[in-house]
Structure 1
Amino acid sequence: MKHFNFKNLFTAITLVAALSACKKDRIVEPIDIPAERAGVYILNQGNINANNSTLTYFNYATQSSTSDIFSAVNGTKLGDTGNDIKIYGSKMYIVVNVSSTIEVVDPKTTKSIKRISMLNGTAARQPRYIVFNKNKAFISSYDGTVAVLDTASLAIEKYITVGRNPEQMVISNNKLYVANSGGLDFGNPDKTVSVINLSTLTETKKVEVVANPTSIGADSYGHVYVLSNGDYKSIAAGLTIINNATDAVTLTSADLAGGYGSSIVNNGDYIYYISASNGILVYNTKTQKVEKENFITDNTAITSPFNIAYDDINQQLFVMDAKNYATNGQLFAFGKDGKLVKGYPITTGITPGAVVFVNK
């Protein structure tokens, strides 16, 4: 009868346990692969009531453009006056103002997923801008509402009443700030920013700012920036700064007025926007001072700067040039040094008004 050597057996078990423990303790660190851009979509507004909005796609790998990629892929026009475009999750949202639709597409293929009608009975709500928070999209419309859209079902859950003719929006400190322009009531603009609680989805207050606010942005220091156009006669255009903790106005300045409809884009400690003199103003959000009157350093001439965007991956500032608002415009890109990036400008459609960057 064979006898077991318990000493050897115990040694073997101990060794296996030790090896197993080593395997369990070995932590494989995830590899952080930075996102890489595939290209940029340019939303061209076209002309109001001409039904000629287009979507241009510029492919970074081939350095080539498709001038009307939405129509090419879907066999139908995008609509009348495309106003805003954003990518959120796996979907791209295109706000088409005069057509009163939200076009939801696959950003990789530009294939339409759903066209959402923005009507109140038979009346057009005229959507303007879109922002996102968690599983909700918020859409401002000229009828004085902000729609709440579920990004999974693509169903509108409710409408929040705000001020007259709301324009751009920004989320800061778990609140949605909405610029109420009143711009369609010429000579009698609105002069408020609605504050919406994102937990209750209700308007909690209105903050008074310079008349006819259209553009709005925020920084990481608790400031909300509002660009207003004034009433084009007795009330000057200007910038209002709101404290996002108290919603109190901390600064109102006509010297910091911006160009009409320019987005306020954020890059670390800086915000950029088109100034009243058509330069790209650089404002230091930490020191609360203008750092540069114009980001562009190489004297690149831009005829009619219409809007801007910032690519935080490639660290490039994009400027949309509407030219004469009747023929094709151009898209410019500038590096960190303020100099034009090689290969730009590229040709766009009529009145390029918004861009969005898509990753590989």
Structure 2
Amino acid sequence: MKTMKKLLFLTFATVLFISCSNDDDPQPGPNPPEAYEKGIFVTNEGPFGAGTGNVTFISEDFTDVQQHIFLTVNGKDLGNIVQSMNFQDENAYIVVNNSQKIEIVNRYSFESVDSIKTGINNPRYFLGTDNNKGYVTNWGDPNDNTDDFVSVVDLRSNAVSATIPVSFGPEKMVSNGNKIYVAHQGGFGQNNLISVISGNTVESTINVGDVPNSMVVSGNSLFVLCGGNPSYTGNETAGSLVKIDLSNGQVSNTYNLAITQHPTGLTIDGANLYYNLDGKVYKVNSASVSLPGAEIINGFFYALEAHNGKLYATDAGDFASNGSLKIFDLSTNQQIQEFQTGIIPGGIYFND
């Protein structure tokens, strides 16, 4: 009898414990809301002709690395090719170029929220604004230089509300105040323009160097890194760094490299600019520009981002197998971490 009483008591106590635990101390599920709250996302383009791109997550303290997080959380692939990603408020907007869509996920849990599949055509980059608008650059038909446009997205409904015709090859965008600056790299060709968009209208264009591939805002200046026409065009031109005065929209300075030098990947941390050139990373002070600047790191990198005293650089390797993310301490210019990514890691984004 005593044994039976003990068993009944233990059973009752266990049920009571479980009940109290469920009511007072809820346990997170397999994907808690804050799963990706602090850390680094790397978008991996994936194989060009087939297969899918994906996203790698690395925690802020570098202790947790997760691959294919969109597939893990949502049970489906992103598609081909994962071109880029950007944040607005609590959402992340993942541009999937060949699949002709933008996947919208919660930036902290990576759970699907919505997708945009109409009003875009060969989308490249997304930029959100604080007035419930998003902008998407589109190539249209890559072989037609007359049909390129920027989609305007109502972020309350995630529907395209307007399209803005622009010059060919629109790519990366930055915002300053109520204006959007669009770099026209040129798609499969070469271009040399920055479009300035206000609302749903191109209010002006700015001529810069050939093939503007990246931009940063520093104070009241927009710095535009231009790769120059490559040699295979038969009209090779020098790479350059163009400084635009944002108060009047005019070019204030152009700093040229040699005709055979074609820089990429402009980024900024504090007062210093960083970019790629011929297997080296160069550092330039934004207040006293002199090119090429100081060589600080060796390496052929596919994407480059400076952030909080560190330089994050992706290595795409042979472009057919997994790449890597390398992290350098900018106080010493020494590598401090390296993590595996997916195939062709093309973008680095900080969720902080």
Instruction: Answer yes or no: same fold by TM over 0.5.
Output: yes
Q: Shift of residue 173 of structure 1?
A: 4.8
In structure 2, relative to structure 1, the CA distance for the partners of 1:230 and 1:291 (3 Å cut) is closer
In structure 2, relative to structure 1, the CA distance for the partners of 1:290 and 1:37 (3 Å cut) is farther
Partner residue, 2:290: 289
- Of 294, 318, 323, 1:329 maps to 323
Q: For 1:254 and 1:291, how far apart are their aligned partners in 2?
A: 9
In structure 2, relative to structure 1, the CA distance for the partners of 1:129 and 1:338 (3 Å cut) is farther
Partner residue, 1:101: 101
Q: For 1:355 and 1:333, how far apart are their aligned partners in 2?
A: 11
Moved over 6 A (4+): none
Q: Shift of residue 286 of structure 1?
A: 1.4
**Deviation sequence 1:222-244 (CA, Å, 0-9, x none):** 23324233153323142232222
Unpaired runs of 5+ in structure 2?
Answer: 1-35, 141-147
Question: How many positions carry a matched residue from both structures?
Answer: 304
TM-score, length-scaled by structure 1? 0.77
Larger-Rg structure: 1
Cα contact 1:282–1:290 (8 A) shared by 2: no
In structure 2, relative to structure 1, the CA distance for the partners of 1:111 and 1:237 (3 Å cut) is farther
**Deviation sequence 1:222-274 (CA, Å, 0-9, x none):** 233242331533231422322222222233343185534x2x22222122221
Partner residue, 1:21: none
CA RMSD of aligned residues (A): 2.3
Q: For 2:193 and 2:72, how far apart are their aligned partners in 1?
A: 41
- 1:218 partner SS: strand
- 2:296 partner SS: coil
Cα contact 2:164–2:201 (8 A) shared by 1: yes
Cα contact 1:173–1:244 (8 A) shared by 2: no
- 1:289 partner SS: coil
Q: Shift of residue 118 of structure 1?
A: 4.5
Q: For 1:331 and 1:318, how far apart are their aligned partners in 2?
A: 7
Instruction: Give the share of equivalent positions with the same residue, in percent.
Output: 25
Q: For 1:132 and 1:46, how far apart are their aligned partners in 2?
A: 25
- 1:99 partner SS: coil
Partner residue, 2:125: 129
Cα contact 2:37–2:107 (8 A) shared by 1: no
Q: Shift of residue 330 of structure 1?
A: 0.7
In structure 2, relative to structure 1, the CA distance for the partners of 1:118 and 1:251 (3 Å cut) is farther
Whether 1:178 aligns to 2:182 is: yes
Partner residue, 1:10: none
Q: Shift of residue 153 of structure 1?
A: 2.3
Q: For 1:183 and 1:229, how far apart are their aligned partners in 2?
A: 14
Partner residue, 2:84: 84
In structure 2, relative to structure 1, the CA distance for the partners of 1:247 and 1:234 (3 Å cut) is same
**Deviation sequence 1:38-78 (CA, Å, 0-9, x none):** 22111001121223201111234571322211111111111
- 2:38 partner SS: strand
Unpaired runs of 5+ in structure 1?
Answer: 1-35
- 1:345 partner SS: strand
Letter in 2 for 1:92: A
Letter in 2 for 1:69: I
Whether 1:211 aligns to 2:213 is: no
TM-score, length-scaled by structure 2? 0.79
Cα contact 1:172–1:222 (8 A) shared by 2: no
